[in-house]
Structure formats: structure tokens, C-alpha cells
Amino acid sequence: MANIYNNLNLIDLNDFPVNWWTGLLDKAHDIMSDPAAYSESCKGKIMGTLFYEPSTRTQMSFQTAMLRLGGTIIGFDNPATSSVAKGENIKDTTKIVSGYADIMVMRHPVAGSVKAAALTADCPVINAGDGGHLHPTQTLTDLLTLREEKGTLENLCIGFCGDLKNGRTVHSLIKAMSCFKGTSFVLISTPELSLPAYVKTFLSASGHSYKEVSSLDDAVGMLDVLYMTRIQRERFSSPEEYEKQKGCYILDNKKMAKAKDSMIVLHPLPRVDEIAIEVDDDPRAMYFKQAKYGMYVRMALILTMLEESTMKVPLITGRAHKHQICSNPLCITHKETYLPHYFRGDSTMLECEYCDERTLVE
């Protein structure tokens, strides 16, 4: 086993100690209190934004964050307008852009893609979402929202509802909240959209209790936080499969009436029909405020990563297996075939370094 380092990258929030996260939340709180004091903190710095799939809040909040810090932005929000449309691979695209920028933010529809980019990038890389895998900066947004609105990150009962299989925001937040004392989880989904095995394994290993249920009506009354997610059309293999799951869970005023007065509702957005418009007027609906918190925590993240550029966090902790293939067909190693096949684990079970999928040794 050998650790491979590159720049200070944020691929998975759990690569960092909890006190690093809480330091970011403290800095975000300070920025909210006095934004003008930070208005030239990134003067002369350039951020590259590579968005291979659509985004509104994540992309614009990163851009706004850098502009409010006094920096500038390059990049693309549609791969069809870049050399990606000509067949350029991730390595070449990110190698070029990282040579122009001081820090780079990347979103991609394939799991493990951002770690693949970070292997050869010449500047720090931030994961803005890699397929249905992880979304660490949304998790930081969620953590800041919880701490500002609930006053604590401990002893919370959190319900996750909707597409828990493909919901990268769900996976990231569960892993993060498993690090805080007294957290319990209620997983509300259909069997087809239940939480992936690797996240349940992580949850079980953390010692936190969780229950899986299929009814939002039955669960909502026990929650301190309800985290709604949309059924993601783009993650399904066919329109027919999507239609079977669409509209399974809809939060409306009738369900909100069963919830605690102190419960808050979060959603990473965009929504389709899973939260009725009528809920927007409920003071417990925090999803629009949550999106604004995201700008402040991303300001704190950009500053911290540029300031701590010499901090060492291993990018790869396993080793290369030349002939081993990741069992996840949605892993970046099946698309970018030049990538070394890195795995963690023992002689019988391996875990892909890119997508975290468990694979039997061949």
C-alpha cells in the first residue's frame, strides 16, 4: 500500500478531519458577518470551472464566491463548446486548464471523474459533483445550514427521502453526519432507490442507528431535519424506469402538519414535483436559504484551499492492480481507459479508489 499525493484537493469531505470542516464553517460564518472584509482576498487569483453537466446553484455560487473574493473565472459550462466535443479526455482538458488557473472546480456525470482529474492537475481541484457518487461542497452547504439553523450538528434525527441510490448529496451528507455524536438516520425510499451498500456499510461501521422505511407520512413526525431529493431522470437507463419512480414522494402542507414545529426542510435543488409550491411559505422550509449559505461556505473553501496549499492529504491510499476491473459500470475507469486501476482492500475484496464500489478480486 502506498499513499499518492498531489495538490490539496477536495474530492471527498471525509478525507479531511472534522475540525477542518468546522474550521470552514467558522470562516463561512465570519464572512457572512462581514463580507466586505474579504472582498479582495483573492485579488489576482483565477478559478477554472469545468462543468460537464448542467448546474445552476453549484456553478453560480462558486462563480459568485470567487467574484466576491475579488478573483476572476475561466472555464466552460457546456462541454459541447469546448474541446471535449472533439473527443479530448479528462486528463488533457484538466491538465491544460489547471495550468491557467490557481484553483479548479469540476462537475462531471461519471463517478470518480474528479479524482481522475486531480491525479495530474497542476492546481488544487474541488469536486462539484461526480455522477451519483459524491458532492462534498453541497455537504458543506448542508452542514452550514444545519449549524446556523439548528445551532448544532449533534443529536439530530435526519430523514432522507427520494432517490437515495443516485443522490450524491445524500451519500456525502450521511458520511459527514456519521462523524457527529448522537445522529440517527431515517432512509425513506422505494426498494429500487434505496441507499447503496457501500454507504450503509459506512453507516453501520460508524455505530449510528438507521432505519429504512417506505412511507414519508409515517416518518415525518420523528424528524428534526427532512432532506428531500428529486427522482433524477438523468440517472435512469430508460424513460420507463424513471416513470415508475417519478412522483413517489411529494411533500405538501398535509404532511408538514404531521412534523415537529422545530423540524426544518432541506433540498439540494433543483426540485421537480417532490416539494409542493405551497410548502415554500412554511417557515420550516429552508431550501432557498440553504442555497445562499452555499455561496458563503464556498467562499470559505476557496480561501482555505488557496491558503493551505502546502497541506498534505493523500489522493490515493491503495495500490494499482493492473488486471483488476471495477465492477461499477458507471465508474470513470470504464470511460477513461488509460487510468491506473487503484484499489484499497485485501486479497478477497477490493474497493475502487475512484468510485468506492466494492469488487471481488479476480
Please give the grid coordinates belonging to residue 9.
484537493
Contact 168, 12 (CB under 8 A): no
Tens digits of residue pLDDT in 99-150: 999 999 999 999 999 999 999 999 999 999 998 888 899 999 999 999 999 9
Q: Give the separation between CA 239 and CA 244, rounded to whole angstroms.
A: 9
Find the helix or strand (DSSP H, E) in which 349 lies. strand 349-352
Q: Residue 158, CB half-sphere, CA atoms under 13 Å: how many?
A: 27
Best-predicted range by mean pLDDT (99-108, 163-172, 225-234, 235-244): 99-108
Whole-angstrom Cα distance, residue 346 to residue 288?
A: 45
Contacts of residue 299, defined as CB under 8 A and 6 or more positions apart, other chains included, come to: 28, 31, 38, 65, 68, 69
Question: What percentage of the chain carries pLDDT values higher than 90?
Answer: 72
CB 10 within 8 Å of CB 126: yes
* Structure confidence by residue, pLDDT tens digits, 142-201: 999 999 999 999 999 999 999 898 888 898 899 899 999 999 999 999 888 899 888 888
Q: Distances from the Cα of 93 to the Cαs of 49, 76, 104, 262, 333, in angstroms?
A: 12, 11, 12, 47, 17
**What is the set of domains in the chain, with CATH numbers?**
13-134+292-307 (3.40.50.1370), 136-291 (3.40.50.1370), 319-360 (2.30.30)
Q: What is the pLDDT of residue 111?
A: 94
DSSP classification of residue 291 = H
Rounded to whole angstroms, how far apart are CA atoms 148 and 159? 19
